[in-house]
């Protein structure tokens, strides 16, 4: 039946919002009547007339509003805000397991009361943990005896029988047996204690893997990591950690396990058991002294990296001098362990936790403080979703052992890492060891890319040499003693414990100075709906919308985070507090907004860059700043350990005398000054991960050494907002503040999790530890998030969670996140909720590794080259001499890997296209709008194909529009031409600044690709695609005409605007026009020319404007096949109905 399209009933916004306009309802008869056919022309003529009127109305509206962005941009932003990202809630597994059993005290040396491996090694740490109240907070697990079958996973039956026989031996027989092994003593209880030690290790690991506890610690003895398959060695009988790992692999079916061995002695037993096994990454940091330190093995050096399939999975970091301290171990973690461990992506982490590298231990003679072990443990807890089992190995200075073990357990329980003094320069010896490890492992790990690999020699001479040293006598099969009589001799007490006595007062001072205070509440949160009052009436889809904070807070509530946080009271920042950063004149000007009428507000907007005004803007900006200060008060007074401020308008672009980039008052800068003035904070770290450079914050502290400002932002050689050279890496501060401004400026994006995590590992965290902040403020903008319409980057909520985890180890956990940008509502809600979850102590989510882009690696190198002149922790950015043939092999291997990845990507995209085009057609009248959906591997959280394709297409359009169009918009809709400009000249020449809603890319910038987004979707768990029910028939199929000359050019540009990012072809006249997400030329063509059927070049689907639905019918096969042949070089399978004819 003919429908009346009168102007009274026609709402043009319905068309923009995707509603049915002049289309039959799903309940109507699908077969058109003859009267409908007669009325068809009349209805289309009216539709054509109204289409022209609508276009004219939109032109007039744009002229009237003088908007910074056209309706297509607004439509894009609005639609992106409707897309939902799938992120799982935090892992509910809680609790830290603890195993300790006094039966293990029975193992002791019967002929030497002063032997260092004595029962106090476990009773002391347990007692100290009790004193600190840690034991009561743990989940106590019962110690278990190991079975022989478990032992046989790594040891021989003969070895078991040998130890079992000691239960009946007398003293002389025990001495005679012990003398056959290196550094071993025995008594009648040794076998029982060894069974308990191993059984407890396996029990703790199993409870973690069964998700009964998140992590745990086994305070056990005897230790295990020196025990070999056929031999007791170094106080060890059964290799506890190696057996547990083998059990997890063989019986519990784990695929990847990381073993970290920070005992000062090399765990040669563990290394031998997994030397050719790529399922286990063994990482050992040990005293070596070029082979002169026990166990005196050649295989303990850095060039022993595994063999066979295990090549590259054995990592030795040899320490060739004594006295290595916190900063040396932190450098090893930052430069080697954490990058490689992230790439390895383990399912479980086992730590052979020997504390003989702690200060005062006579065995190690190293200088690692007890507090440093909290930091090392915290870093490891970001791996394997927090599944970490700490197993006691060595440690022979009781005072440092007990305190170090307690600090480790405290960290596993989620307490903040105690603040340690600012890191010093890593010594040259550890620098040489680190560079040597990188030298031999670089061909095997993609993450080791930040040195220069050339034929030029390294400035550290030891790196230019190959081991071993000529004058070292190693222990090997030929010179191995048959007996070790020295094990029967008493330890020389006076000489052996000299280091202990010398360091005892130092350890006492360290313990006294270590701040173990813990706030009453974990996390405070600031939010008030009053901040929604700041809004614009001139642009419905403005990105800085009130819903930004509402969606974030709602997500916090949905995940149960708000209930776990303490709410701070609402307050307004005073004028005196605002004046810490802003001028009085500027404050008066913003305050006057309350008294202005709409016309005056509109006029004033033109004075600022990317700012909209209303009468409540001043009120909301004061509330946002006040909330951040309230959180500072809450944290600095010890009420909360950390805090989150869900505030708007944002602040980091605001200058002393100017509002810009949606920002009025610089909330974080004010907070930094406020904390310094009120709480005498000496050092503040500000990390700004908003995708736009925080120009306002940088300017406030550019010459101030008390504030370290680190910004990670999209730069594009100065083309991206705020389009200023102030964001380049060479802007390092001035005067006393030189070196305290760090710009990690990304070019040639898009960047994602792997690039940001690499920047944190290589730059942010080393510098932060060297700076030693007392407070960390995060300008937490989430416009680098996947799906954000302004940023077009790929950072996921998982990546933001890991960055938050890394920062939370600083400043005794005093970390405050204040919302800045972020304009994809689902992305900012999930991302900030994930950050809050981490601050509350939840486990880090699983973050699969992807290789950082070459352009990101170069950006990081550029920053290192600049900043290493100011920060000694960055001294590892040097040349490493490599042989040309090795370099060529490495490049070939890398190119081969990329080729494989490209082929995999192409195969995935072909599969995607096939699944979206080769649809099985069945009618579902109950749900005619059902579409292709994407489902997670666990069967949850589905998305429609349109949402996914929109997510893949829209960022590409936003990026390529800027790159392809030589004219870019500035403020107030003004335009300027930059075509032919030198990429670096725009800022230098003082060109017009573009708005915060976008920015032109340089011609060599890499646009966001569908493959980029597809990889990120796979990272989040989207693995399966299902196609269901487009309409099998529509009344407009008879308008489809044959394909001209039998082919379709899927790369053809839009005939109106020349755009190539997302185009459709009309199946009536076969003209090509752009989609509604670009300039709507296909939509306008369909309405004006009455051509309602069109085919997408992106996914080869067919859309009918008349039915407002996807269509799949055999009549469309020839057109779809022609497009498929052009796009993929192959034909679609012929439908049976056509093959029969």
Report the distance separating Cα 767 and Cα 754, nearest Å. Answer: 19
925 SS3 class: coil
Name the region of 607 (left: φ>0; alpha: ψ -120 to 50; beta: rest). Answer: alpha
Q: Are 528 and 630 in contact (CB under 8 A)?
A: no
Q: How many CB atoms lie within 10 A of CB 471?
A: 8
Report the distance separating Cα 694 and Cα 661, nearest Å. Answer: 10
Q: Are 195 and 101 in contact (CB under 8 A)?
A: no
Please compute, for residue 760, the number of CA atoms within 13 A of its CA located in the half-sphere on the CB side: 24
Q: Alpha helices of 761-875 — where are they, by DSSP H?
A: 765-771, 797-807, 825-839, 854-867
Report the distance separating Cα 333 and Cα 379, nearest Å. Answer: 8
DSSP assignments along 640-658, one per residue: EEEEEE--SS--TT-BTTB
The DSSP call for residue 662 is T
Is 107 among the residues known to form the active site? no
703 SS3 class: coil
902 SS3 class: helix
268 SS3 class: helix
Report the distance separating Cα 676 and Cα 672, nearest Å. Answer: 6
Instruction: Give the position of tokens 């083998």.
Output: 246
Give the Cα-Cα-Cα angle 308, 310, 314 (nearest 5 degrees): 130
The pair of structure tokens assigned to 629 is 């200060």
- 634 exposed, middle or buried (CB, 10 Å; 0-12, 13-18, 19+)? buried
Q: What is the 3-state secondary structure (H, E, C) of 113-171?
A: CCCCCCCHHHHHHHHHHHHCCCHHHCEECCCCCCCHHHHCCCCCHHHHHHHHHHHHCCH
Report the distance separating Cα 1011 and Cα 752, nearest Å. Answer: 13
Report the distance separating Cα 229 and Cα 738, nearest Å. Answer: 56
Q: Are 242 and 151 in contact (CB under 8 A)?
A: no
| Calculated CA dihedral for residues 98, 103, 105, 111, nearest 10 degrees | -150
The pair of structure tokens assigned to 421 is 């003094």
Which H or E run contains 217? strand 215-218
Distances (CA, A) of 458 to 335, 435, 439, 443, 453: 17, 9, 11, 18, 9
Is 653 among the residues known to form the active site? yes
Catalytic residue (one of 225, 226, 542, 1109): 226
Q: Are 400 and 361 in contact (CB under 8 A)?
A: yes
Catalytic residue (one of 286, 653, 1091, 1124): 653
| Calculated CA dihedral for residues 484, 486, 489, 491, nearest 10 degrees | -130
Nearest alpha-carbon partner for 319 in 228, 397, 436: 436
In sign, the C-alpha dihedral spanning 250, 251, 255, 261 is negative
Q: Are 1064 and 1095 in contact (CB under 8 A)?
A: yes
Q: Are 827 and 787 in contact (CB under 8 A)?
A: yes
Residues labelled catalytic: 226, 653
């Amino acid at each position: 039946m003919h429908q009346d399209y009168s102007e009274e009933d026609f709402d043009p916004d319905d068309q923009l919002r995707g509603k049915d306009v002049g289309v039959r309802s799903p309940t109507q008869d699908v077969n058109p009547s003859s009267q409908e056919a007669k009325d068809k022309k009349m209805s289309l003529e009216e539709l054509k007339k109204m289409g022209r009127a609508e276009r004219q109305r939109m032109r007039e509206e744009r002229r009237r509003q003088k908007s910074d962005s056209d309706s297509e941009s607004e439509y894009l932003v609005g639609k992106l805000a409707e897309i939902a990202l799938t992120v799982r809630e935090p892992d509910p597994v809680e609790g830290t397991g603890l195993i300790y059993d006094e039966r293990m005290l029975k193992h002791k040396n019967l002929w030497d009361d002063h032997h260092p491996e004595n029962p106090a090694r476990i009773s002391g740490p347990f007692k100290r943990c009790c004193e600190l109240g840690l034991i009561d907070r743990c989940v106590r697990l019962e110690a278990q005896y190991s079975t022989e079958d478990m032992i046989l996973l790594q040891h021989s039956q003969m070895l078991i029988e040998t130890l079992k026989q000691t239960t009946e031996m007398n003293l002389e027989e025990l001495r005679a047996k012990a003398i056959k092994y290196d550094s071993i003593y025995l008594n009648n209880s040794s076998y029982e204690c060894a069974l308990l030690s191993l059984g407890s290790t396996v029990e703790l690991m199993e409870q973690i893997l069964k998700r009964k506890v998140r992590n745990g610690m086994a305070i056990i003895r005897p230790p295990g990591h020196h025990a070999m398959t056929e031999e007791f060695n170094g106080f060890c009988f059964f290799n506890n950690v190696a057996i547990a790992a083998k059990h997890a692999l063989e019986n519990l079916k784990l695929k990847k396990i990381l073993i970290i061995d920070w005992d000062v002695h090399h765990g040669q037993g563990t290394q031998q058991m997994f030397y050719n096994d790529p399922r286990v990454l063994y990482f050992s940091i040990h005293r070596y002294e070029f082979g002169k330190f026990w166990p005196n093995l050649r295989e303990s050096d850095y060039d022993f990296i595994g063999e066979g399939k295990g090549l590259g999975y054995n990592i030795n970091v040899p320490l060739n001098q004594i006295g290595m301290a916190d900063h040396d171990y932190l450098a090893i973690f930052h430069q080697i362990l954490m990058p490689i461990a992230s790439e390895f992506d383990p399912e479980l982490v086992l730590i052979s936790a020997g504390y003989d590298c702690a200060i005062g231990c006579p065995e190690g003679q190293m200088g690692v403080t007890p507090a440093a072990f909290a930091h090392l443990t915290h870093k490891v807890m970001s791996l394997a979703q927090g599944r970490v089992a700490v197993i006691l190995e060595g440690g022979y200075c009781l005072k440092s052992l007990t305190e170090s073990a307690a600090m480790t357990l405290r960290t596993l329980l989620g307490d903040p890492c105690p603040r340690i003094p600012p890191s010093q320069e890593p010594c040259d010896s550890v620098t040489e060891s680190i560079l040597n490890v990188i030298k031999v492992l670089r061909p095997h790990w993609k993450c080791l890319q930040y040195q220069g690999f050339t034929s030029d020699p390294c400035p550290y001479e030891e790196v230019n040499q190959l081991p071993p040293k000529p004058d070292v006598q190693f222990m090997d099969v030929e010179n191995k003693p048959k007996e070790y009589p020295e094990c029967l001799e008493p330890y020389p007490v006076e000489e052996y414990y000299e280091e202990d006595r010398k360091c005892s007062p130092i350890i006492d001072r360290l313990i006294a100075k270590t701040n173990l205070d813990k706030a009453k509440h974990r996390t405070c949160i600031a939010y008030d709906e009053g901040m929604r009052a700041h809004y614009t009436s001139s642009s419905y889809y403005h990105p800085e919308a009130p819903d930004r904070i509402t969606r974030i807070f709602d997500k916090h509530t949905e995940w149960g985070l708000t209930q776990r946080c303490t709410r701070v009271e609402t307050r307004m920042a005073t004028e005196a507090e605002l004046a810490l950063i802003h001028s009085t004149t500027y404050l008066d000007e913003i305050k006057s907004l309350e008294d202005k009428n709409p016309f005056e507000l509109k006029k004033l907007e033109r004075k600022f860059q990317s700012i909209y005004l209303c009468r409540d803007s001043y009120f909301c900006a004061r509330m946002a700043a006040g909330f951040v200060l309230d959180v500072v008060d809450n944290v600095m007074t010890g009420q909360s350990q950390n805090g989150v401020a869900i505030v708007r308008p944002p602040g980091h672009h605001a200058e002393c005398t100017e509002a810009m980039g949606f920002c009025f008052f610089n909330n974080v800068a004010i907070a930094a000054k406020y904390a310094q003035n009120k709480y005498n904070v000496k050092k503040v770290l500000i990390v700004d991960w908003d995708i736009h450079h925080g120009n306002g914050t940088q300017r406030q502290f550019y010459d101030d050494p008390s504030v370290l400002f680190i910004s990670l932002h999209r730069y594009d050689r100065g083309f991206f907002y705020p389009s200023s050279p102030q964001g380049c890496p060479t802007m390092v501060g001035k005067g006393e503040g030189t070196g305290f401004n760090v710009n990690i400026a990304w070019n040639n994006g898009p960047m994602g999790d792997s690039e940001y995590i690499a920047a944190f590992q290589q730059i942010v965290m080393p510098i932060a530890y060297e700076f030693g902040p007392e407070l960390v403020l995060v300008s937490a903008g989430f416009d680098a998030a996947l799906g954000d319409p302004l940023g077009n980057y790929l950072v996921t909520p998982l990546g933001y969670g890991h960055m938050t985890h890394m920062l939370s180890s600083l400043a005794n956990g005093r970390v405050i996140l204040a919302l800045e940008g972020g304009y994809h509502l689902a992305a900012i809600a999930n991302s900030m909720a994930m950050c809050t979850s981490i601050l509350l102590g939840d486990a880090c989510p699983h973050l699969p590794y992807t290789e950082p882009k070459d352009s990101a690696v170069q950006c990081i190198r550029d920053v290192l080259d600049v900043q290493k002149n100011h920060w000694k922790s960055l001294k590892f950015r040097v040349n490493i001499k490599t042989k040309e043939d090795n370099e060529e092999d490495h490049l070939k291997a890398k190119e081969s890997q990329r080729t494989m990845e490209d082929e995999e990507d192409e195969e995935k995209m072909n599969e995607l296209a096939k699944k979206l085009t080769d649809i099985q057609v069945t009618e579902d009248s109950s749900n005619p709008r059902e579409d292709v959906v994407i489902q997670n591997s666990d069967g949850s959280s589905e998305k429609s194909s349109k949402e996914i394709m929109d997510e893949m297409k829209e960022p590409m359009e936003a990026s390529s529009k800027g790159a392809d169009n030589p004219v870019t918009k500035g403020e107030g809709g003004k335009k300027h031409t930059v075509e032919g400009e030198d990429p670096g000249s725009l800022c230098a020449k003082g060109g017009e600044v573009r708005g915060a809603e976008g920015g032109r890319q340089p011609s060599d910038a890499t646009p966001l690709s569908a493959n980029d987004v597809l990889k990120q979707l796979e990272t989040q768990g989207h693995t399966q695609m299902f196609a269901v029910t487009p309409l099998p028939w529509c009344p407009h199929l008879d308008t489809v005409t044959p394909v001209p000359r039998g082919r379709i050019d899927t790369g053809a540009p839009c005939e109106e605007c020349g755009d190539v990012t997302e185009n459709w072809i009309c199946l009536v006249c076969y003209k090509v026009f752009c989609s509604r997400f670009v300039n709507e030329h296909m939509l306008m063509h369909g309405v004006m020319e009455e051509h309602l059927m069109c085919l997408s070049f992106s996914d080869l689907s067919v859309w009918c404007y008349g039915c407002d639905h996807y269509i799949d019918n055999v009549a469309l096969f020839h057109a779809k096949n022609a497009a498929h042949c052009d796009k993929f070089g192959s034909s679609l399978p012929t439908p049976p109905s056509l093959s029969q004819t």
